[in-house]
């Protein structure tokens, strides 16, 4: 099998005393092709000494684990990236090669599972594992879901969108999972950390709880599928929702009857920053199969296609046991009022994305903060 190149990212803040030894130790491993040291707002010579040892130094001025990880993932040369801590003297780094050996095409994330005989992992036991099991049943079997040592295929996720705080490692895991790739664990041995006080755990708990609540709101494991004759209807009707879901990490697929048109190209460019989004010809609609881990799908379609596409696809998915919401109809301008809006979503975080897409397509821009839709189910009930 062809050897896949690998970058190692080391977030570091004021690690001048040890960073040279860490970098040299990593570069001595035959599975390491590059070491990226992210100097996270240090006030010592961390970056300078990392470069002397052979690392690629990156400076991230904003303190926070997530900010450092984002910077490291962006700077890495290779798609497969291992993230490790700067305190490598506590680990048997040779065991990290087991994570490298575990890579396969269907795997997107390899977690390093380690144990500490002096730490009963209260945060993992009492918050992280129950929360993850409740929100993402397919990840409930992980022993160390919040471990900070892992190997990830960054090409699968919008790594530039991960949270900037301590929950970044969880965010990466959830995004890989939502993208339909497998998350596995590899035993990397035992270590002994210094004891942490209650205040440390309180701050961690607050950060992680906020992240888990956000995950519930974003519905990251629910795929969004759009069917439309004209890209213009999507651009005007639901570009914001598509962008918002893709930004969060959800899978988004748009099928267009005019794929290849100027409008379709503008939509594809708007969604390009997020690897979980794709634009395909409408002729391929019957080939749609859920890629997500939990078989949850939400369907949107334009009014002319309601009965010929959305219902057929929805019926097929129901027969396959796929769980999903009722299809939503994009509400284009309609003088007859055939479709009355009964759903709305706040698009404020992606207004610029939608405006740019409309502008690139030669269509009138909008700064409306909400996109509204009509529920097919509700309209039929009224009829």
Which among 153, 188, 152, 146 is positioned nearest to 169, based on CA atoms? 146
φ, ψ (nearest 5 deg) of residue 346: -80, 120
Token digits for 9?
A: 């990212």
Q: Could you tell me the end-to-end alpha-carbon distance of the chain, in angstroms, rounded to an integer?
A: 60
**Residues 253-285 as b or e (16 or more Cβ within 10 Å = b):** bbbbbbbeeebbbbbbebbeebbbbbbbebeeb
CA distances from 30 to 23, 34, 93, 96, 175 (A): 13, 11, 12, 11, 29
Whether the per-residue pLDDT at 382 is higher than 60: the answer is: no
- Mean pLDDT, all residues of the chain: 89
Look at 83-87, 211-215, 258-262 and tell me which has the smallest mean pLDDT: 83-87
pLDDT by residue (tens digit) across 31-86?
A: 999 999 999 999 999 999 999 999 999 999 999 999 999 999 999 999 999 999 88
Domains and CATH numbers, the chain: 7-218 (3.90.550.10), 222-382 (3.40.50.10320)
pLDDT band at residue 225 under the 50/70/90 scheme: very high
- Residue 305's pLDDT is 80
Whether the per-residue pLDDT at 339 is higher than 90: the answer is: no
* Chain-centre distance for alpha carbon 151: 15
> How are the residues of the chain apportioned to helix, strand and coil, as percentages rounded to the nearest 5?
45, 20, 35
Residue 370 burial class via C-beta count within 10 angstroms: exposed 0-12, middle 13-18, buried 19 and up: exposed
pTM (2 d.p.): 0.93
CA distances from 345 to 82, 210, 239, 254 (A): 37, 21, 12, 18
Residue 87 burial class via C-beta count within 10 angstroms: exposed 0-12, middle 13-18, buried 19 and up: middle
- Residue 208's pLDDT is 92
Portion of the chain with pLDDT greater than 70, in percent = 91
308 compared with 267, residue with greater pLDDT: 267
Q: Are 157 and 245 in contact (CB under 8 A)?
A: no
- Residue 192's pLDDT is 61
Q: Give residue 27's region: left, alpha or beta (phi > 0; psi -120 to 50).
A: alpha
Q: Are 233 and 332 in contact (CB under 8 A)?
A: yes
H helices of 158-228, in order, are 168-178, 198-218
Query: CA-to-CA distance for 279 and 282, rounded, in angstroms?
Result: 9
- The SS3 of residue 33 is coil
pLDDT by residue (tens digit) across 74-87?
A: 999 999 999 998 87
- Residue 237's pLDDT is 93
Query: CA-to-CA distance for 166 and 178, rounded, in angstroms?
Result: 20
pLDDT by residue (tens digit) across 235-244?
A: 999 999 999 9
Which among 278, 216, 291 is positioned nearest to 252, based on CA atoms? 278
Q: Where are the beta strands (DSSP E) in the chain?
A: 7-12, 34-40, 56-60, 80-83, 107-115, 150-153, 182-190, 222-228, 252-256, 277-281, 296-302, 323-324, 328-330, 343-346, 370-375
Q: Are 209 and 203 in contact (CB under 8 A)?
A: no
Tell me whether strands 343-346 and 370-375 are parallel, antiparallel or unpaired. antiparallel
pLDDT band at residue 383 under the 50/70/90 scheme: very low
Residue 366 burial class via C-beta count within 10 angstroms: exposed 0-12, middle 13-18, buried 19 and up: middle
Look at 52-56, 119-123, 227-231, 354-358 and tell me which has the smallest mean pLDDT: 119-123
CA gyration radius for the chain?
23
Token digits for 378?
A: 């509700």
**Residues 291-315 as b or e (16 or more Cβ within 10 Å = b):** bbbbbbbbbbbbbebbeebbbebbe
Q: Residue 288: how many CB atoms within 10 A of its CB?
A: 18
- Residue 114's pLDDT is 78
């Amino acid at each position: 099998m062809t050897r896949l190149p690998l970058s190692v990212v080391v977030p570091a803040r004021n690690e001048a005393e040890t960073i040279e030894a860490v970098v040299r130790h990593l570069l001595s491993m035959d599975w390491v092709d590059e070491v990226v040291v992210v100097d996270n707002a240090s006030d010592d010579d961390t970056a300078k000494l990392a470069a002397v040892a052979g690392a690629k130094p990156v400076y991230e001025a904003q303190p926070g684990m997530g900010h450092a990880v984002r910077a490291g993932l962006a700077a890495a040369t290779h798609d497969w990236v291992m993230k490790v801590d700067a305190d490598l003297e506590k680990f048997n780094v040779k065991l990290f090669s087991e994570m490298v050996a575990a890579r396969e095409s269907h795997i997107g994330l390899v977690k390093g599972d380690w144990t500490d005989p002096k730490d009963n992992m209260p945060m993992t036991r009492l918050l992280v594992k129950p929360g993850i099991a409740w929100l993402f049943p397919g990840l409930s079997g992980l022993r160390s879901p919040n471990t900070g040592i892992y190997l990830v295929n960054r090409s699968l996720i919008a790594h530039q969108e991960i949270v900037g705080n301590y929950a970044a490692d969880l965010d990466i895991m959830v995004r890989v999972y939502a993208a339909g790739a497998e998350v596995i664990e590899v035993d990397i041995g035992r270590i002994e950390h210094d004891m942490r006080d209650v205040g440390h755990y309180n701050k961690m708990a607050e950060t992680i709880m906020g992240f888990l609540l956000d995950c519930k709101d974003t519905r990251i494991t629910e795929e969004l599928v759009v069917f439309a004759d004209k890209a213009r209807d999507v651009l005007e009707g639901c570009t914001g929702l598509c962008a918002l879901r893709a930004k969060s990490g959800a899978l988004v697929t748009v099928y267009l009857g005019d794929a290849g048109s100027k409008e379709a190209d503008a939509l594809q460019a708007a969604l390009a920053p997020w690897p979980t989004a794709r634009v395909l010809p409408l002729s391929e609609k019957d080939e749609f199969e859920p890629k997500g881990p939990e078989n949850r799908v939400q369907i949107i379609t334009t009014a002319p296609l309601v009965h010929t596409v959305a219902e057929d696809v929805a019926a097929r998915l129901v027969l396959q046991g796929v769980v999903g919401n009722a299809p939503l109809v994009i509400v284009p301008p309609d003088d007859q009022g055939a479709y009355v809006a009964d759903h709305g979503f706040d698009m404020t975080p992606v207004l610029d994305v939608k405006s740019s897409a409309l502008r690139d397509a030669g269509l009138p821009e909008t700064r409306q903060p909400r996109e509204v839709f009509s529920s097919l189910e509700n309209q039929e009930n009224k009829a």
